Amino acid sequence: MTEWFAETLHKDVAQSLRMDRVLFRERTGLQELVIFENARFGRVLALDGAVQTTEGDEFVYHEMMAHVPILAHGAVKRVLIVGGGDGGLLRRCLLHPGVETVTMVEIDRGVIDLCVKYLPGLSAGAFDDARAEVVIADGARFVAETDRRFDVILVDSTDPQGPGEVLFTAAFYADCKRCLTPGGILVTQNGVPFLQPDEVRHSAEHLGQSFAVVTFYMAVVPTYFGGIMTLGWATDEAQYSRLTATDLSPRFAAAGLQTRYYTPELHVGAFALPAFIKALCQGA
């Protein structure tokens, strides 16, 4: 009998993926984790009933979360990733030749180990890069206590439930602001606003308590059910979100990136928000 994975993230709608072969399923120290194969999306990682990443479409999310802030900033040397245990975001950050260190703080070592074993293509050796530093710790506590500073902070979190809930609070965003260098950029995972409007609404309010410029940009990830997903954008430098493709193209070329989703033109267009997302940003 065919087994299906039914995502339980939303109470009134759901998506299902056929589980052609289950590779791993058990509860780690903190989360219920399953890794399975699907004919359309390849290997799939799900935590606590929600799809986190797939081999088939991970490139959309990871390219947009990494390349947009790094290329917009233009002089990034130190990156902090909160979460991101699958290694896909770490890999994309390390593609930038100007990046000197990427520190990844992941609360669950089990996620890293399982992803290296069952989804090795996502990290593609990034954990062995000399510029990569992995810290097994609570991300919220790390940014509250560290004396280190970063040019870009990327919050590759789960949704605001369970261990990920604290990563959507005003206190956490204030701690991230403290850890940024002048002109630094914070990017956050903010869900699919058509089905999760409160993630944008509340994040805009909380980010606005610490940053002068708060907005969101978009990506379309097929397995993030419900349409457009948003990534939160917070900084004190207004010009970063106003760059043109003409500004970005030389940086993109100099980085030597080979991408499947990101382009300088798409980068610019991703900040053009639909009216309903603009309204959420304003608390409607």
pLDDT digits 0-9 by tens, 42-65:
999 998 888 999 999 999 999 999
204 band by pLDDT with thresholds 50, 70 and 90? very high
For the chain, what percent of residues have pLDDT higher than 70?
97
Average pLDDT, the chain: 94
Instruction: Give the pLDDT confidence score for residue 163 in this predicted structure.
Output: 66
CA distance readout (Å), 163 to 47, 102, 157, 158, 183: 11, 22, 9, 8, 29
β-sheet bridge partners, residue 32: 27
Task: Tell the CATH topology of 58-281.
Answer: Rossmann fold (3.40.50)
| Lookup: tokens for 97 | 């030749």
Instruction: Give the pLDDT confidence score for residue 239 in this predicted structure.
Output: 95
167 band by pLDDT with thresholds 50, 70 and 90? confident
CA distance readout (Å), 34 to 2, 9, 51, 151, 265: 16, 15, 9, 34, 36
279 band by pLDDT with thresholds 50, 70 and 90? very high
Is residue 81 within 8 Å of 89, Cβ to Cβ?
Answer: yes
β-sheet bridge partners, residue 229: 219
Pick the CATH number of 3-54 from 1.10.730.10, 2.30.140.10, 2.60.120.620, 3.40.190.10: 2.30.140.10
- 33-47, 150-164, 184-198, 221-235: least confident range: 150-164
Cα gap 155→167, rounded to integer Å: 8
For the chain, the structural domain boundaries read: 3-54, 58-281
Instruction: Give the pLDDT confidence score for residue 161 in this predicted structure.
Output: 67
Backbone angles phi, psi at 78, to 5 degrees: -125, 125
Q: Catalytic residues, which ones?
A: 156
Instruction: Give the pLDDT confidence score for residue 29 in this predicted structure.
Output: 61
- 20-29, 70-79, 267-276: least confident range: 20-29
Cα gap 271→217, rounded to integer Å: 5
Give this prediction's pTM.
0.95
- 32-36, 75-79, 103-107, 239-243: least confident range: 32-36
Is residue 37 within a helix (H) or strand (E), and if so which, with residue range?
strand 32-38
pLDDT in tens, 14-35: 899 999 999 999 876 667 889 9
Cα gap 125→189, rounded to integer Å: 24
Around Cβ 86, how many Cβ atoms within 10 Å?
Answer: 24
Instruction: Give the pLDDT confidence score for residue 30 in this predicted structure.
Output: 61
Q: Tell whether the model's pLDDT for residue 162 goes beyond 90.
A: no
Is residue 167 within 8 Å of 139, Cβ to Cβ?
Answer: yes
**Which of 277, 283, 279 has its CA nearest to residue 195?**
277
pLDDT in tens, 180-196: 999 999 999 999 999 99
